[in-house]
Amino acid sequence: QVAEKGDYRHFMLKEIHEQPQALRATLEGKVSGEGRLLASILGPDAESLMGQVEQVQIVSCGTSYHAGLVARYWLESLAGLPCSVEVASEFRYRHVVVPSNTLFVTISQSGETADTLAALRFAKSAGYLATLTICNVPGSSLVRESDLRLMTHAGPEIGVASTKAFTTQLVALLWLTGLLGQRRLGDEKVMALMEELLALPRLIEQVLELEPAIEALAARFASKHHTLFLGRGPHYPVAMEGALKLKEISYIHAEAYAAGELKHGPLALVDDDMPVVTMAPSDELLEKLKSNLQEVRARGGQLINFVCEQAGMEDGEGVHNLRLPKVSDVAAPILFSVPLQLLSYHVALVKGTDVDKPRNLAKSVTVE
Ligand code: G6P
């Protein structure tokens, strides 16, 4: 299957715009007519293995690692399962202690990342309950070597900076959360969760309409050398992913912080030359986030806030709000990832970098 750019200037832009379709394709066939999630699509014995899971260990790299970090919030709050997430290059050399009945999960777009594959090979003899990979490439090494597999259907991703692979991984991880949490949550809540997932493609289409506004903002970034991304809860890893995207393709130094850590260091860096990008969904942490933002404003920091329509954030001097459609708290991290992709893309365009093939980076890191 040869991917073409079509009318798009870059693969990355095309792949950003393909997300509604990629999410739909990833969800297809995973819920039965009676509203039950089909464990059997994961492979042999999946039904009985899933019933035994008491903990989850997620291992991955780069953008796929950020997907794992978001999933931890879901697995703990919805499925009630303790969850650890680690980059594969660290995990593989650690002397891990494996708690009983732990499901080992790798996440990978390519299925060929050397460190992730090495971590899986180690895990297979380390006493895990089972190994499961969430992967976009059928027949890849991770898919072949894992006990169970959950495929994303993003289609070929050519841009080195991952976009549609990330959001489809998040969809797969939320589906997995529903599956692992089925007993605790009950069928009705699980179905409500699936409804939220099914509503996402339409919401992403609305978010893509923000592109002209994001493009206008991007011009402000091009002359900056540093940017801070802030978020709380599952939006902290979303901020990490936003910072990674900006670094990868625009070469602007970007760092993500949990907003509550602002006082413990990064506040010292804030001045009018460092834009601060924040994720402000309308959740239980919004009021706390607002007070973090006041601290930034008090130091002259320029704020770019991605906010939920109903979050009640006001524009003002040095404060730019981009409003996203109403979305459930659970699905919000998926929706909020999209404008960050557009932001980094348009900043890179202004800077004139090679968007699809950023310097020094590879799409798939198959050597250590
Ligand atoms: C490289 C790519 C990233 C990707 C990471 C992990 O660094 O440039 O976009 O997130 O590898 O790749 P994987 O295929 O395992 O998801």
Closest to 193 (Cα-Cα) out of 207, 208, 177? 177
Question: Does pLDDT of 137 surpass 90?
Answer: yes
| Catalytic residue check, 363 | yes
Distance CA 350, CA 342 (A): 12
Summarised one tens digit per residue, pLDDT across range 156-204 is 999 999 999 999 999 999 999 999 999 999 999 999 999 999 999 999 9
Residue owning the nearest CA to atom 5 of ligand 1: 62
Say if ligand 1 is within 6 A of residue 61 CB: yes
Distance CA 61, CA 44 (A): 27
Closest to 112 (Cα-Cα) out of 164, 153, 60, 68? 60
Mean pLDDT of the chain: 94
Ranked by mean pLDDT, the top range of 31-40, 78-87, 216-225, 295-304 is: 78-87
User: Minimum mean pLDDT among 98-112, 189-203, 253-267, 298-312: which range?
Assistant: 298-312
Pocket test for ligand 1, best of 109, 337, 359 (most atoms within 8 A of CB): 109
HEC profile for the chain?
Answer: CCCCCCCCCCHHHHHHHCHHHHHHHHHCCCECCCCCECHHHHCCCHHHHHHHCCEEEEEECHHHHHHHHHHHHHHHHCCCCCEEEEEHHHHCCCCCCCCCCEEEEEEECCCCCHHHHHHHHHHCCCCCCEEEEEECCCCCHHHHHCCEEEECCCCCCCCCCCCHHHHHHHHHHHHHHHHHHHHHHCHHHHHHHHHHHHHHHHHHHHHHCCHHHHHHHHHHHCCCCEEEEEECCCHHHHHHHHHHHHHHHHCCEEEEEEHHHHHHCHHHHCCCCCCEEEEECCCCCHHHHHHHHHHHHHCCCCEEEEEEHHHCCCCECCEEEEEECCCCCCCHHHHHHHHHHHHHHHHHHHHCCCCCCCCCCCCCCCCC
Say if ligand 1 is within 6 A of residue 118 CB: no
Residue owning the nearest CA to atom 3 of ligand 1: 62
ipTM: 0.98
Say if ligand 1 is within 6 A of residue 116 CB: yes
Distance of CA 150 to the CA centre of its chain: 16
Residue owning the nearest CA to atom 8 of ligand 1: 363
Residue 363 Cα to ligand 1 middle (Å):
6
